[in-house]
Structure 1
Amino acid sequence: MNPNLVSTDWLAERLGDPEIVPVDGSWYLPDAGRDGAAEFRERHIPGATFFDINAVADVSSDLPHMLPSPEVFSEAVGALGIGSGSTVVAYDGAGLFAAARVWWTFRVMGAAKVYVLDGGFPKWLAEGRPVEAGASRRQPQRFEARFDQTAVKSADEVAEAIAAKSAQVLDARSAARFRGEAPEPRPGLASGHIPGSLNLPVQEVIGADGRLRGEDELRASFRAAGVDLGQPVVTTCGSGVTAAILALALEGVGARAAGLYDGSWSEWGAGGRPVATGPAKIS
C-alpha cells in the first residue's frame, strides 16, 4: 500500500485520540454543484476540522487556491486545531480529489505526519462509520510551518526544465483538454498544453471505487503516458489540485514528484506562454 494512505479501519480505531486530526478538504469544480463546507456542517468524521483550500491560500493572487505564505498557513491551521505534532488524515467527499491537495500542502509546509484516507468519506459512509454534524469543536493549537520551496515550481522553472530536459512535466487534465479539443472550465484560458509536457489524466490513476489504483496498475499508467519513473517528474493540472493526485500516485510506485507547478494551466494558459495542441509527443 502507498505509505501515504491510511485505511478507514486504522482511523476508526484511533477516533478520539487528540493527536489524530481528520481534515475534510472537500472542494469541487463549480459545475459539480456541491459545497464542501456546507456538506461538512451536515456531517463529517467525528473530531474532524474543515480545511478550505480557497481560504487557506494566497488570497491576493488572481489564481485559484495558490499556496499561502508559511506565516498565514501556520496561523490558519493552528486556529483549526492542528499542531506541529498532529497526525493529519486528509479526506474529501469525492473519494480522492482535493484531499491530495491538502496532503501535499501540509507536506510542503513541513508537517511530518500527514496521510490521505484511502477511499475517503464515501468509503467511510458506506461502511456505516460514525459521523457528527455542526462546526468543528477542536481547540486551537500551535503550528510552525517549515516551507519546502523546492517542492513548488513556477512557470519559469517549468519552462526551464522542459528546455533543459531536466524533468518531465506531467499534466493530470483530461486528454481532450490536454489536446486542446475541449474548452477549459475557467474562462479566458487557451486550450492545449505546455509544449513538451506529457499527459496522464487523473482518471487513469483512480479506480471506479474512487480509490488510488494499486502499484502494478499505476506503473502501467505511467508507462503508457511515456513517463520514465527513474527521472524527475513535475506535476501540473488545471489549478494545482489534481496535480497533487499524480504526486500521491508517484509515491505509490516508490518514486517522488520533483515538484508541483502551483499555477498550472490557470497561469500558463492565461497568455504569454507558448501553447501546444494535439497528443503528447512520447519519445
Structure 2
Amino acid sequence: MDALVTTEWLAGELGAGDLRVVDATYLPALPGGPNDDPATDYAAAHIPGAVFMDLADLADTNTDLPSMLPPPEKFASRMQSLGLGDGSRIVLYDNSLYRTAARAWFMLRTFGAHDVAILDGGFAKWQKEGRPVAAGRDQLRHRHFTVWADRSGVRDLNQMKANLDSGAEQVVDARSPARFSGEEPDPRPGTEAGHIPGSKNLPYGTLFNDDGTWKTGEALKAEFVAVGIDLAKPVVTTCGSGITASVLAFGAHLLGNEAAVYDGSWSEWGADRSTPKATGAA
C-alpha cells in the first residue's frame, strides 16, 4: 500500500478484511481556534467502517506540554480498542485545517505500525465526490496491537539543544511566517515568540494543492528546496506542538527523507528560559 492513497483506491478496498479506516480529525485547543467537536462530527458522518481516533486523548498526561507522545502501553491499548492490530492496513483521513492525519501517521509508525497511509484530499474530497458516508459508531472487535516503540524518529529538548552546536540536522518549522518571525505573539501563555536559531520556515499549508490534495514529486520537492532544505541530508521538523510538524515529516517521507519530529516543538522551546530564541526571517 502506498503512503498516499486516492479516494478511488479506498472506495475499491472498503470491506477488505485487513483494512482499517481511521478518522483522525483533531482541532488543537488554541485561543481563537475552531471549537468544533471532532467526535460529534465523526458520529454524524464518516467513511463507512471508519473508527474515530481521539488524538486529544492520545497524549502524555504526565506533562503540561500539549500533544506529547503517550506511553507505548497507552497507545497500544487505545489501538486495540479501535480494532487496529498487528497486520492491519491502516488508512487515515481527517477533516481538519491542521491536516492531523499526518500526526496519526507519525504516531502509528513510531509505535510499530508500518502499513499506514493517508487518504489524499481527506474527508472533504470523499464527500465532494458524492461517495457514501455512514453515521453513528460501529461495534468494534478488539485486535492485538503489540506494545512497541521506536523513538529514533523523535527528538527531545536536549537533542535539539545539542543540534544547535552540531548542525547535524536541518530544522524546518511548519508554523506561519508571522509566528516564526515573532511578529505574531505565541497563543500559549508564558511562551515567547520567535523560532529555534538556524531553523527554516516552511508553512505546512504550502505542501497542498488548492483542492486540498498533496503536492507530489517535483512540486512537493520544490517547496522544501525553496526554503533551503536539502532532502539528501537529515531533517527534523517542528511547529507549535508537534501536530503540523508531522505534516512536514510526511511530506519529506513522500520524497524519500525520513525526517524526525521534535515532539515538544515551540510549546516546549519557547517556554523554556534556558533556550535561545531568534526572531525575524530565517
TM-score scaled to structure 2, two decimals? 0.95
The answer as to whether partners of 1:96 and 1:212 remain within 8 angstroms in 2 is no
> Any idea what the Cα deviations from partners look like across 1:129-186, whole Å, max 9, x if unmatched?
1111112322111100321111110011012123101111110001110000012232
Residue 95 of structure 1 and its aligned partner are, at CA, apart by 7.0
In 1, the alpha carbon distance for the partners of 2:181 and 2:83 equals 43
How far apart in 2 are the matches of 1:140 and 1:68? 20
Note the residue ranges of structure 2 that are not aligned, 5 or more in a row: none
2:138 and 2:163 mapped to 1: Cα distance?
42
Secondary structure of 1:266's partner?
Answer: helix
Residue 169 of structure 1 is matched in structure 2 by 171
In structure 2, the residue matched to 1:220 is 222
TM-score (norm: length of structure 1): 0.94
Alignment of 1:19-58 (within 5 A): 19-30=18-29, 31-58=33-60
2:42 partner letter = F
Match of 1:145 in 2: 147
Equivalence for 2:109? 107
Q: 2:127 is matched with which residue? A: 125
Letter in 1 for 2:270: G
Deviations 1:81-121 (A, max 9, x none): 11111111110013771000001100011102110001100
State the number of aligned residues: 278
Q: Please tell me whether the aligned partners of residues 80 and 140 of structure 1 are also in contact (alpha carbons under 8 angstroms).
A: yes
What is aligned with 1:268? 269
Structure 1 residue 13 corresponds to structure 2 residue 15? no
SS at match of 2:117: strand
Give the whole-Å Cα distance in 1 for the aligned partners of 2:212 and 2:185. Answer: 25
What one-letter code is carried by the residue in structure 2 that aligns with 1:21? R
Equivalent residue, structure 2, for 1:65:
67
Separation in structure 2 between the aligned mates of residue 145 and residue 210 of structure 1, nearest angstrom: 34
Whether the 8 Å CA contact 2:27–2:98 is kept in 1: the answer is no
**Structure 1 counterpart of 2:6, one-letter code:** S
d(CA) in 1 for partners of 2:114, 2:203: 29
State how far apart, in whole Å, the 2-side matches of 1:116 and 1:96 are. Answer: 14
For residues 200-239 of structure 1, the aligned pairs below 5 Å read 200-239=202-241
Kindly tell me: are residues 76 and 112 of structure 1, through their superposed partners in 2, closer, same or farther at Cα, counting changes over 3 Å? same
Structure 1: 4+ residue segments shifted above 3 A: none
- 2:8 partner amino acid: D
In 2 relative to 1, CA 173–95 (structure 1 residues): closer, same or farther, beyond 3 Å? Answer: closer
Paired with 1:211 and 1:195, the residues of 2 have a C-alpha distance of 32
SS of the counterpart of 2:43?
A: helix
